[in-house]
Every structure is written in structure tokens, then in C-alpha cells.
Structure 1
Amino acid sequence: TYIVSDTELDVTVDEPETSEPADVETPNSGKDIPNTGSSDMVNVALVAAVVSLAAAGAVAFRKVK
């Protein structure tokens, strides 16, 4: 998450003064989070960008006969 602001914000975190850590239970019914494959698309986009730049460079430096 990014926040754009024209003024500096106070980002200090106030820690609660407790001697014991709070026990927080997360609801989990035994199901794992499924892989959506979105991280795979990042690699595909990167390869497409490199190929595109290589093709643009070849066209830019092509000798005129």
C-alpha cells in the first residue's frame, strides 16, 4: 500500500504496555490458500518486455540499403 501526501506523517507505532502477548486465534478450517498463478504472469510479462525491447533495438539500428 502506498500513500502519497504533501505533508510528512507521523508513522511511529505505539506499543501497548502488556507483559503477556495476546493470544490471537485465526479462523482456519484446514484449507490452504490456493495458488492463483498470478506470480507466473509476472515472469511472462518480463519476458515479453525483454523481447519487445530487443525487437525495437533491432529496428532502430537496422542499416538502410
Structure 2
Amino acid sequence: MLSMVGNWKMYLAEPEDETDYDVFKASEESGKPLGGETFVEKLEVLLGRPLKPKKRGRKKKGDR
């Protein structure tokens, strides 16, 4: 992070980006981690549990 943001004082003083805020809020409300697929896969391995959203809806009869 230090290499990505040179001047933290200026970075933190910038106005918030509404798009970023919406993405953070959606992640917080869902309880799912915010990050790329590789990041989430690494977290799943480290935690030993699935974190990606499952398919929605009921299972088909043949899948039971």
C-alpha cells in the first residue's frame, strides 16, 4: 500500500468515490470478501471454507 499511495495525507483528503463506496457497502452487507478471484481463492484455502457465492435457487431433482 505504501508504494501505491505516495502521500497519505493527500489521499485521505480526496473526496470519496461513490462507486467505490457502493462496492465496499455491498461487500460488507453480504459478508463476502472484497477482492479478485485469485485473492478469494487464497482466502478459501487459508480458512478451509468456501467464500464465493453459491448458485442461487433450488437444486434440480437430479442433483440431490
Under TM normalisation by the shorter chain, which class is it? under 0.3
> Which structure's residues are more often helix, by fraction?
2
Structure with more contact order per residue of length (Cα contacts < 8 Å, sep ≥ 6): 2
